[in-house]
Structure formats: C-alpha cells, structure tokens
Amino acid sequence: MSEKELGQKWDRCLADCAIKVGAGLGLGIVFSVVFFKRRTFPIAFGTGAGLGMAYSNCQNDLRSPYLVLSNAAKEQ
C-alpha cells in the first residue's frame, strides 16, 4: 500500500537514525577515549556525524521517488 510506504520509510529512518547515532556515539566515545584523551568533541563529532548521516539518509530515502536520474535527464 502506498500509504504504508511512508510509515515504513519513517520507521527505517528512525531505525537508521538510532543506529547511526548510536554508532556514532559509540565510535565517538571510543575515539574520544582511545585517541583523543576523553575529550568530548569526538563524541559530539561522532554523534553529529551519526545524526547527519541518519538525517541525510532519511532525506534521501524520503526523496528517492523524486530523484531525476542523470541518464533519464540526458535521455530527455
């Protein structure tokens, strides 16, 4: 069903966001602990990166129907 698609997308988006933020967080923590002497910026950076990636992914996913592929544009 087309109406369920959006919900599914949002679900994915959220899931992805959670994963990415978590992974970023984790990596951030790891990096901050391991490489950057418990400074907070890698955590923020990791979280932010994770959030950003999740946001971008979500956006992309949501945009995907509207994407005009270059070959198609060239063809047109």
At 2, is the secondary structure helix, strand, or coil? helix
- Within positions 25 to 64, which residues make up the interface with another protein, using CB under 8 A? 55, 58-59, 62-63
Which DSSP string do the residues of 5-74 spell out, in sequence order? HHHHHHHHHHHHHHHHHHHHHHHHHHHHHHTSTT-SHHHHHHHHHHHHHHHHHHHHHHHGGG---HHHHH
Chosen residue from 65, 69, 74, 76 binding another protein by CB under 8 A: 65
Contact call for residue 3 and another protein (CB under 8 A): yes
Q: Please select the residue that binds another protein; options are 35, 66, 71, 75, rule is CB under 8 A.
A: 66
Interface residues with another protein (CB under 8 A) are: 1-3, 5-6, 55, 58-59, 62-63, 65-66
